[in-house]
Amino acid sequence: MDMSGLNLNDKPVEAEIIEEPLKTSVSREKILEEAKHILYANEKKGISIVVIGHVDAGKSTLMGRLLYELGRLDEKTKRSNERGSDKIGKSSFSWAWGLDGTTEERERGITMDIALQSFQTPHRQFTVLDAPGHKDFIPNMISGASQADSALLVVDSTTGEFESGFQRGGQTREHLLLVRSLGVSQVIVAINKLDQVAWSRSRFEEICTTLRPFLIQSGFHPSKSAFVPVGAMQGVNLVGRDDALSADLSQWYNGPTLVDLLVGLSDKLIPPVRDLTCPMRFPISNVFKQQNVGAAVSGRLCGGIVQVGEKLRVLPGDETAVVKSIEFEEGFVPWAASGSNVVLNLTSIDPVNLSVGSILCPQTDLVPLATTFTAKIIVFDIAVPIMAGSSVELFHHSRDVPASTVKLLSTIDRASGEVLKTNPRVLGKGTSAEVQIALRNTQVSGAAAVARGIPLETFRNNKEMGRILIRRGGETIAAGVVLEING
Ligand SMILES: Nc1nc2c(ncn2[C@@H]2O[C@H](COP(=O)(O)OP(=O)(O)OP(=O)(O)O)[C@@H](O)[C@H]2O)c(=O)[nH]1
């Protein structure tokens, strides 16, 4: 599915309401039964992977080349990308062009938004989200990570480059912490550009040794992380290792290829358990216009089941929309279940009423709107501590809103969960704490300014809907889970 030209900004798209009364055709019970069979029995298991890493580590190149090796990028497109990238003096980015679709992305040679691709192997269906590495685009990266089950971290093994990505402020660190905080617990580390260091085994091992403790510290269990040496540009050790270019690597490496790891031959990636019975939640990560349909939204279902003909509420707000069709993995399906990345084509709604970050849910089971809530947070490696009343940016799925940490309630022992101190004055790096967060005034109503609530749920009710990230001045300072909605 080519999503490169999509309108990923929060801008409204041209208004066009297509009214079409639709009815759901299949009973919920029947869908549930079918979904359980597909997800838990013998059929293909779907996994979505977010590709992360420091700027220029080779993420887009790796994915472009991988799609080519798997027959997902044809020769014609490949040659056209080679010619196009050569013309603007960026020939080394020709593989990345398979994913970096917009003119600006191609000219700047960086990924700015999330590119979505899919491929399959006999037992797995993969959805790949290529996230931007540049630090200015971390919000887009958060949106990508909140739609993923697993992460593929790409690191540049070139002398000095791995180090600069891993030092404080580097995206290798920040991305790993972010995806873990957003619930991703499985990671494959592709150590790339080994051609630049003469396929040095000691360099590969040095990078593994440096990263291992950091992965554990960030909460990735060693049994759920794996390392693989690759050369993305030449396609070495992505799908196979039987060509001349792989000879140097083959002298010391006989482990799995990247695809071996991805398909779970080494059982590193485990498809997550999906909650099908909870109410349907669909955070919108993209809004765009489809020909002959009207409005369309893309994102990942985080809870329940959605089906064609269903009437959904758009929160915040009073609008409703009807699901005209559901696109999933390049085809149309009558229903989709929790965990799937889909496009919902909607009727009976003006597209201006759909925005990135809003949540679609059943009319009978609305998501609460919150302006104040209590959260348990973990403070990242920050230089300036968090204080009561600190102004922050709150991230929830693809939405970010101004907020403040109004009350610091207590600090908590991370291991035992016991309260260490109540009403602490400040929260420094590494602290675990309970805080009260309030949205800052965003709307003027009459004389008074009031904050408009955002749809939020407790972590207890829905794990994916109950995770938040807190940023300040372009830096992620904490991650957390929602404990209670206070108002
Ligand atoms: N020598 C060598 N260069 C590579 C390899 N993989 C990628 N590159 C080069 O590294 C540069 C960056 O590659 P990209 O794929 O755009 O990197 P990226 O991580 O997607 O970058 P952002 O999306 O902007 O963060 C390009 O010039 C690539 O040609 C490799 O295996 N070997």
Ligand 1 pocket, residue 55 CB under 6 Å: yes
Residue 417's CATH number: 2.40.30.10
**271 is a domain residue:** no
Least confident interval from 44-58, 135-149, 297-311, 456-470: 135-149
Give backbone dihedrals phi and psi of 137, rounded to 5 degrees, phi first.
-110, 20
Q: How remote is the CA of residue 143 from the centroid of ligand 1, in Å?
A: 22
The angle formed by the CA atoms of residues 190, 195 and 196, to the nearest 5 degrees, is 100
Ligand 1 pocket, residue 436 CB under 6 Å: no
pLDDT-derived band at 203, boundaries 50, 70, 90: very high
Ligand 1 pocket, residue 94 CB under 6 Å: no
Do residue 225 and residue 143 come from a single domain?
yes
Residue 349 has pLDDT above 70, yes or no: yes
Ligand 1 pocket, residue 194 CB under 6 Å: no
Ligand 1 pocket, residue 156 CB under 6 Å: no
pLDDT-derived band at 137, boundaries 50, 70, 90: low
Give the count of beta carbons closer than 10 Å to the beta carbon of residue 260. Answer: 18
- DSSP code, position 166: H
Residue span of the structural domain in which 443 resides: 369-485
* Arithmetic mean of pLDDT, 272-292: 81
What whole-number distance in Å separates Cα of residue 126 and Cα of residue 268? 14
Do residue 167 and residue 256 come from a single domain?
yes
Residue 72's CATH number: 3.40.50.300
What whole-number distance in Å separates Cα of residue 377 and Cα of residue 10? 28
3-class state of residue 428 by DSSP = coil
Which atom of ligand 1 is found nearest the CA of 99?
20
Ligand 1 pocket, residue 171 CB under 6 Å: no
Do residue 53 and residue 161 come from a single domain?
yes
Give residue 279's Cα distance to chain centre.
Answer: 21
| H-only helix segments in 109-170 | 138-145, 161-166
Overall number of domains in the chain: 3
What whole-number distance in Å separates Cα of residue 159 and Cα of residue 182? 31
Q: Which residue has the higher pLDDT, 302 or 84?
A: 302
What whole-number distance in Å separates Cα of residue 170 and Cα of residue 155? 11
How many Cα neighbours within 13 Å face the side chain of 229?
A: 27
Do residue 280 and residue 145 come from a single domain?
no
Instruction: List Cβ neighbours of 152 (8 Å cut-off, separation of 6 or more).
Output: 49, 50, 51, 52, 128, 187, 188, 190, 262
Domain boundary among 362, 396, 421: 362
Ligand 1 pocket, residue 174 CB under 6 Å: no
Domain boundary among 262, 291, 314: 262
Ligand 1 pocket, residue 59 CB under 6 Å: yes
- Strand-pairing partners, residue 372, are 438
Do residue 357 and residue 331 come from a single domain?
yes
Do residue 191 and residue 67 come from a single domain?
yes
Note the pLDDT of residue 9. 32
CA-nearest of 446, 411, 397, 408 to 142 is 397
Residue 165 has pLDDT above 50, yes or no: yes
Region of 234 please: left (phi>0), alpha (psi -120 to 50) or beta.
Answer: alpha
Ligand 1 pocket, residue 193 CB under 6 Å: yes
Do residue 195 and residue 55 come from a single domain?
yes
Do residue 17 and residue 86 come from a single domain?
no
pLDDT-derived band at 190, boundaries 50, 70, 90: very high
pTM over 0.90: no
Asked if residue 420 lies in contact with residue 433, where contact means CB atoms within 8 angstroms, the answer is: no
Give residue 381's Cα distance to chain centre.
Answer: 22
Probe target for ligand 1 pocket from 164, 196, 233, 236, with the most ligand atoms within 8 Å of CB: 233
**465 is a domain residue:** yes
Ligand 1 pocket, residue 232 CB under 6 Å: yes
Distances (CA, A) of 143 to 12, 401, 418: 19, 14, 32
What whole-number distance in Å separates Cα of residue 113 and Cα of residue 9? 10
Residue 32 CB-density burial (10 A; 0-12 exposed, 13-18 middle, 19+ buried) = middle
Distances (CA, A) of 388 to 81, 106, 410, 442: 52, 43, 12, 20
Ligand 1 pocket, residue 485 CB under 6 Å: no
Note the pLDDT of residue 429. 82
Residue 455 has pLDDT above 80, yes or no: yes
Asked if residue 191 lies in contact with residue 208, where contact means CB atoms within 8 angstroms, the answer is: yes
Q: How remote is the CA of residue 245 from the centroid of ligand 1, in Å?
A: 18
Q: How remote is the CA of residue 234 from the centroid of ligand 1, in Å?
A: 11
Reported as a single tens digit per residue, the pLDDT across 381-436 is 788 999 999 999 998 888 889 999 999 999 988 666 789 999 999 998 878 899 99
Do residue 63 and residue 118 come from a single domain?
yes
Q: How remote is the CA of residue 58 from the centroid of ligand 1, in Å?
A: 3
Residue 136 has pLDDT above 70, yes or no: no
